[in-house]
Structure 1
Amino acid sequence: MTIRQLPDTLINQIAAGEVVERPASVVKELVENALDAGARRVDIDLEEGGVRLIRVRDDGKGIGADELTLAVSRHATSKIASLDDLEGVATLGFRGEALPSIASVSRFVVSSRRVEAEHGATLEIDGGRVGEVTPRAHPQGTTIEVRDLFFNVPARRKFLKAERTELGHIEDWLRQLALARPDVELRVSHNGKASRRWKGDGDLLSDVRLHEALGEEFARNAMRVDHAAAGLRLHGWIAQPAYNRASADQQYLYVNGRAIRDRSVSHAVKQAYADVLFHGRQPAYVLFLELDPRRVDVNVHPAKHEVRFRDARLIHDFVYRTLHEALAETRAGNAPLAPGNGNAGIDGDRWQQGAMAAGGSAYRWNAPQAPLGLQVADARNLYAALYGQPGAVPADGDAPVAASGMPFAAAAFAGPSSAAPPFTHQPMPDDAPGGMPPLGYAIAQLHGIYILAENADGLVVVDMHAAHERIGYERLKHAHDGEGLRTQPLLVPATLAVSEREADVAERESATLDALGFEVTRSGPQSLTLRSVPALLAHGDVEALLRDVLADLREHGQSRRVAEARDELLATMACHGAVRANRRLGPAEMNALLRDMEATERSGQCNHGRPTWTRFNLAEMDRWFLRGR
């Protein structure tokens, strides 16, 4: 076939296939242009889910009459002028493709006036055919009308969904924008009826938009995070683990104010929650990552949904460590660090020292894996090795605890088992030292399962097994971390057949593998020799674990597989070592557990993500019984 130059209209329609997926894509491009123009108020009028009409009006700087034609030309923009500008983009738009692409697949009208102009001007484009610029009365700012989207590309129009579905996509995107720009007023109407108004009187430290966008339940369970280190800042809100979702519908990530999707950062967030969520549940968060624009490339996706970080490994570790430390403060009895209640974060110098260890190759992250086939007997052996207490973990998973001298503060649980009556009352201490602690003091044991305690606000109910399980788990982790990672040489070195890429990774990341407990050398173009493994995991499928670690290092530059496999075993130990149901506890035992909960990281949830406690304040109970009415 003969090579030919494509006509401009066809070029723009091809570009529209990348930029304009549906009406929500049009709204996104037009509203982002309004924000780049300094708008403080944006009105969005829609008809038939945006298919029939999308009208966006703003009070920004406007476009001069002499620039209207240029504004709808391809690769014409006021936002960049050089490669240096492109490498440090700070605006939402910059390519100069959106307007001509949208105009090529719709009936398009743009009207605008600059503040210094005597009158405005308008330009009409019908399916890519550009008309003449004519004078028109118009307030300062810009109005763009997009009618009959895809009227001249029927194949694309057939892919659009029902009106309600398309409107839902627009509303989802506007909610995402509203969270990031509480300083801008957004007014939305659909089919001539006002449907939504986002007031523009807030800032990122306000919780007004949080309530409006995600609801009271999220706002009530949100913890504020604000931490800066290594030229990075992460701030926003993360939901307490008890508030979790079946899907990722409440996960919002912004990089320098731009809403993006990033698998690795999302993965780091999920890993920070790994110890406190049910398997398969999703965390909820609104997070803003700020860094030098030159450290992130925003020009990697046609719709600008994705970015590429120049320090990807550092970004991963920064996000994981920041949230991991913040979630560690979810101790039972702590007031949630909700909007307005303060900040959660970690010391920047301490984080940097940890992140820079081993040449900056921090490796604490990745996805949970299937069990490694480790047995409870292995757990007992580790327990004995750590504490010199053989048999501290019972062989029978249903047997009661019988381990005097367990390394938990609530060691009084280690008495002989006896069935508890349904309700056992315990008197309140007459002289509680130091005032009332957050979880108060135990007053009863209910059905051998729950501890009832009275605190300053009302009633606290604790699931004693779940709470004791978390306490034991955290203590085992700290003890093992203090011991350091031990390796065990293999009696006979193992030879692994791998791909050439995997062998390259193993050779390049030998120091990281050594830090993870693997002594690995390359023995051929597609083979590795494994000589030692992490001692704690020696009875599992370490070859499969090594392959998973290599896959992580190849894709992300980091791996947390070993830590997760270790945590899985320690969690099993803690579960078997926790106090069982129907064990009668005395006041000292119950109060010891409450004090341990207050001092233990993540004690608001058990190892499986279940809550360990709840509370009922007096005002709530008064409402139950209609007191004061």
Structure 2
Amino acid sequence: MPKIRVLPDILASQVAAGEVVERPASVVKELVENSIDAGAGEIRVEIERGGSARIRVIDDGCGMSKEDALLSLERHATSKLRTSADLAAISTLGFRGEAVPSIASVSRFRLVTRERDSVAGTEVLVDGGRLREVKEAGCAPGTSIEAGSLFFNMPARRKFMRAESTESAHVEHQLRLHALAAPNVRFRFEKDGREVFDLPPVARALDRVRHLLGPESASELIELPVTRGNGVSIDGFVLPAIHARKGRRHQCVFLNGRPVEDSVISRALAEGFRGAVAEGMHPAAWLWIDLEPHLVDVNVHPAKREVRFHRPLDIRDAILEAVTTALRPKPSAAIFDAPAVAVSGAPTSRPTYTPPPRQTVSPRVWTPPAAVQVPLPEAALIPPRVPEETTPPVPVSKAPPFRQLGLLHQRFVLMESEDGLVLFDPRAGRERIFYEKLLSGREEGVESQGLLVPELIELEPRDHELLVREREALAAAGVELESFGGNTVQVRGLPACLGITDSRAFVDLLIDELLHESTPGSRFAFERVARLLARRQAAGVPVRMIETTALLDSLFDCELPYCAPDGRPTLTEFSIRELERRFGLEKGP
């Protein structure tokens, strides 16, 4: 059995970095949190090649002395905690003392800092966890940390990094979250020498949300009433139910200034929209929750994304009360049909309108003219020789011999089979037929109908990166779009077979479909888009009994007739034996 040894400090830091530093966005998150804790009024973030080449975070916070700068590179060194009692009431963002040494152990690290009252600052250089140089430096008050060549000494971790555009999108998303969490701080972001955004400090969180959301969606924001009680304070905004999406990407929750993810909060939001949002959809929301520090444990996740509440029901009730109050329809002034009153106060009679009597008009009947007798020559009286007709072979249906019984709630077709009762979902059947038709014509592509006026749509960074990455597969499916600068895309054409009128809603559905597939990558992108198009094409078609036979014939010409593209069944059979068992009519042995 191998002997137990104590890990070297550098290796221990690299192991810790596996939990703290997942990708460049993790580095930005940890450093920005330290800058906010340092009281920064302005934070500037610069990245190159998605953060893999260089990440630089500059702030104008309190800065550090030389001794503190060196201590910040030691593991478990922090200024946020003193005793174990402090761990039960954490009010800062960074408190573990692992972020800076972990980042320094997997990058070429440079730290420049100066306190406001100091004449000179301090510069510290570290290569892969090894201290290389410490010297005085001239710099502005605050701290500047640069991490270059991320994971240069850990090639196994470096090869798992995504494309530069993907990593840049995650960095920008993380910065937007912190900008919403701290609206009183100015945030500047530069990517490959180009400024992406410059968010000035604002007094109200609403102004920051409007800036990041865009004017179109910001005009629909519904403000939640401030709700307080049991040590909890809830404030924020939601969008109408029509903006609900499959995932929780449009839910931004900030607990005591910290971006968090929690199922209690998500369920409370969904419950507040109950009846207005379909099952599996999640409303868009921005929530700021202030909670007494001893009522929450923020130390349950290595990256501090998840938290644990001591009284989760209090959080749920506060969110539910705020959401239901905001969505409650406002009482409108009652309109009374009072009689008209003359100047003297006596009621006057209103002139009544009497419609003129209808005139009954007998319908016209078209009568064909009398046939005209035209003398024909004798040759014309001889019937022409009719060639022998060859009747085309009648195609044999592959569908089982079902006997149609009727419609159930204008939604399902009831049929009788040789073994029992069959329920047929025509919409699921149409999806399968249309889906396989799209796959068979994949090489030619789906016909696209150009928009008269191309529509510009502002997206989130990760959504924009996804659409741009998959634009070739989207073009094959009839969706023509291109990047228009920043996080804006220009939609130039949509599938002609769908008759889409709201391109924005269609693109939102498309993003949801692409984001919530378990198999990423452009190889399967066309199949994902084809599923969405098939669902959209089948959604608006009414169910008619007269079309069932032809629909079944087309369905059983498909390769997989028994399931829709997303796996839902197209037909469900209840055997006679199962029905007898349900009604207690089973025969004894």
| TM-score, normalised relative to structure 1 | 0.52
Matched letter for residue 121 of structure 2: G
Residue pair 2:56, 2:145 contacting (<8 A) in 1 also: yes
Where does residue 306 of structure 1 map in the other structure?
306
CA distance in 2, matches of 1:156, 1:289: 36
Structure 2 equivalent of residue 119 of structure 1: 120
Give the superposition deviation at 1:212: 1.6
* Bigger relative contact order (CA 8 A; separation at least 6): 1
Aligned position for 1:509: none
Distance of 1:123 and 1:333 partners within structure 2? 66
Structure 1 residues 331 and 65, CA gap change in structure 2 (3 angstroms)? same
> Is the CA contact 1:240–1:330 (under 8 Å) kept in the aligned structure 2?
no
Shift, 1:91, TM fit: 0.5
Aligned counterparts of 1:81 and 1:326: Cα–Cα separation in 2: 42
1:271–1:320: 8 Å Cα contact kept in structure 2? Answer: yes
CA contact (8 A) 2:223 2:326 kept: no
Cα distance in 2, alignment partners of residues 301 and 176 from structure 1:
18
Cα deviation code 1:502-528 (max 9, x no counterpart): xxxxxxxxxxxxxxxxxxxxxxxxxxx
CA distance in structure 2 between the aligned counterparts of 1:129 and 1:84, rounded to whole angstroms: 34
- Say whether 1:224 aligns with 2:194: no
Is 1:278 aligned to 2:274, yes or no?
no
Task: Compute the displacement of 1:18 (Å).
Answer: 0.3
2:252 matches 1:234: no
Query: Could you tell me how far apart the structure 2 residues matched to 1:430 and 1:216 are?
Result: 46
Q: Could you list the per-position Cα deviations for residues 181-231 of structure 1 after superposition, in whole angstroms to 9, with x for gaps in the alignment?
A: 11111111111111111111x12x352211122222332111211111122
Does structure 1 conserve the Cα–Cα contact (< 8 Å) formed by 2:47 and 2:54?
Answer: yes
> 2:262 maps to what in 1?
262
2: CA distance between counterparts of 1:252 and 1:289? 11
1:3–1:246 Cα change, 3 Å: closer
Q: 1:264 offset after TM fit, Å?
A: 1.5
Per-residue CA deviation, residues 13-47 of structure 1 (Å, 9 max, x unaligned), is: 00000000000000000011011000000111110
Aligned partner of 2:17 in structure 1 is 16
Give the match's secondary structure for 2:252.
Answer: strand
Cα pair 1:255 1:290 within 8 Å, conserved: yes
Q: Distance in 1 between matches of 2:331 and 2:303?
A: 43
Q: Is residue 94 of structure 2 the alignment partner of residue 93 of structure 1?
A: yes
What is the deviation of 1:97? 0.3
The superposition leaves residues 441-483 of structure 1 with CA deviations (integer Å, 9 ceiling, x where unpaired) of xxxxxxxxxxxxxxxxxxxxxxxxxxxxxxxxxxxxxxxxxxx
Residue pairs, 1:115-264, within 5 angstroms? 115-200=116-201, 202-203=202-203, 205-225=204-224, 226-264=226-264
Equivalent AA in structure 2 for residue 30 of structure 1: L
Q: Secondary structure at the match of 1:151?
A: coil
| 1:268 aligned counterpart, secondary structure | helix
Distance, in Å, in 1 between the alignment partners of 2:161 and 2:340 is 70
Whole-angstrom CA distance in 2 between matches of 1:184 and 1:82? 30
Q: Distance in 1 between matches of 2:211 and 2:331?
A: 28
Note closer, same or farther for the CA distance 1:431–1:274 as it changes in structure 2 (3 Å cut).
farther
8 Å contact 1:221–1:243 — kept in the other structure?
no
Shift in Å at residue 282 of structure 1?
2.1
Which one-letter code corresponds to 1:311 in the other structure?
A: R
Superposed CA deviations along residues 508-566 of structure 1, whole A, max 9, x for unmatched, are: xxxxxxxxxxxxxxxxxxxxxxxxxxxxxxxxxxxxxxxxxxxxxxxxxxxxxxxxxxx
Identity of aligned residues (%): 42
Could you tell me how far 1:232 is from its partner in structure 2? Answer: 1.1
Q: Alpha-carbon deviation of 1:175?
A: 1.1
1:326 aligns with 2:326: yes
| Distance change in 2, residues 1:211/1:128 (3 Å) | same
* Residues 469-548 of structure 1 mapped to structure 2, 5 A cutoff: none
Q: 1:307 to 1:325 in 2, by over 3 A?
A: same
- 3-state DSSP class of the match of 1:131? strand
Q: Matched residues in 1 for 2:30 and 2:114: separation?
A: 20
Q: 1:333, CA displacement in angstroms?
A: 6.7
For the 8 Å contact 2:228–2:318, the answer to whether it is kept is no
Instruction: Report the Cα distance in structure 2 between the residues aligned to 1:259 and 1:208, rounded to whole angstroms.
Output: 18
Q: Distance in 2 between matches of 1:144 and 1:190?
A: 16
Q: Give the SS at the match of 1:259.
A: strand
SS of residue paired to 1:173: helix
Matched residue of 1:95: which SS?
A: coil
Contact 2:232 2:314 in 1 (8 A): no
Q: CA 1:246–1:308 in 2, change beyond 3 Å: closer, same or farther?
A: closer
Deviations 1:39-84 (A, max 9, x none): 0001111100111000011000001012221111100011111112
CA contact (8 A) 1:55 1:145 kept: yes
2:28 and 2:276 map into 1 onto residues whose CA distance is: 38
CA contact under 8 A between 1:113 and 1:121: conserved in structure 2?
A: yes
Distance 1:330 1:26 in 2: 45
Question: What secondary structure sits across from 2:110 in the alignment?
Answer: strand
Q: State the distance in 2 between where 1:265 and 1:208 align.
A: 23
For the residues of structure 1 that align with 2:339 and 2:96, how far apart are their CA atoms?
A: 72
Amino acid at match of 1:161: R
Alpha-carbon distance change, 25 to 431 in structure 1, aligned in 2, over 3 angstroms: farther
2:543 corresponds to: none
Deviation at residue 332 of structure 1 after TM alignment: 8.5
Contact 1:214-1:250 within 8 A present in 2 as well = no
Partners of 1:4 and 1:246 in 2: CA distance:
48
Structure 2 length-normalised TM: 0.55
Once the two structures are TM-superposed, the CA of residue 315 in structure 1 deviates from its matched residue by 1.9
Alpha-carbon distance in structure 2 between the residues aligned to 1:94 and 1:14: 19
Which has the larger Rg?
A: 2
Q: Within 2, Cα distance between the matches of 1:11 and 1:293?
A: 30
Q: Deviations over 1:344-376 (max 9, x none)?
A: xxxxxxxxxxxxxxxxxxxxxxxxxxxxxxxxx
Q: Do the aligned partners of 2:223 and 2:238 also contact (CA within 8 Å) in 1?
A: yes
- Tell me what 1:583 maps to: none
The alpha-carbon deviation at position 314 of structure 1 amounts to 2.2
Distance 1:273 1:145, change over 3 A: same
CA distance in 2, matches of 1:4, 1:230: 49
1:474 counterpart residue number: none
Partner of 1:401: none
Shift of 1:238: 1.4
Aligned residue type for 1:312: P
In structure 2, what is the equivalent of residue 54 of structure 1?
55
Q: Within 5 A, what are the aligned runs for 1:218-617?
A: 218-225=217-224, 226-327=226-327, 329-331=328-330
Deviation at residue 103 of structure 1 after TM alignment: 0.5
5+ long unaligned stretches in structure 2: 342-589
Return the alpha-carbon distance in structure 1 between the equivalents of residues 43 and 208 of structure 2. 16
Residue 246 of structure 1, CA deviation: 4.1
- Inter-partner Cα distance in structure 2 for 1:11 and 1:164: 31
Q: Check 1:140–1:257 CA distance in 2 against 1; reply closer, same or farther (3 A cut).
A: same
**DSSP 3-state at the match of 2:242:** coil
Q: Distance in 1 between matches of 2:94 and 2:69?
A: 17
**Aligned 1:77-92 pairs, distance under 5 A:** 77-92=78-93
One-letter identity of the residue aligned with 1:309:
F
Q: 1:454 corresponds to which residue?
A: none
Letter in 2 for 1:224: E
* Secondary structure at the counterpart of residue 212 of structure 2: helix
Deviation digits for residues 267-290 of structure 1 (CA, Å, limit 9, x no counterpart): 111111112113333201100111
Per the alignment, residue 6 of structure 1 pairs with 7
TM-fit CA distance, 1:431: 6.3
Separation in structure 2 between the aligned mates of residue 111 and residue 217 of structure 1, nearest angstrom: 42
SS of 2:248's equivalent in the other structure is: coil
Write the distance in 1 (CA, Å) between the matches of 2:280 and 2:215.
Answer: 24
Distance in 2, Cα, partners of 1:9 & 1:91? 27
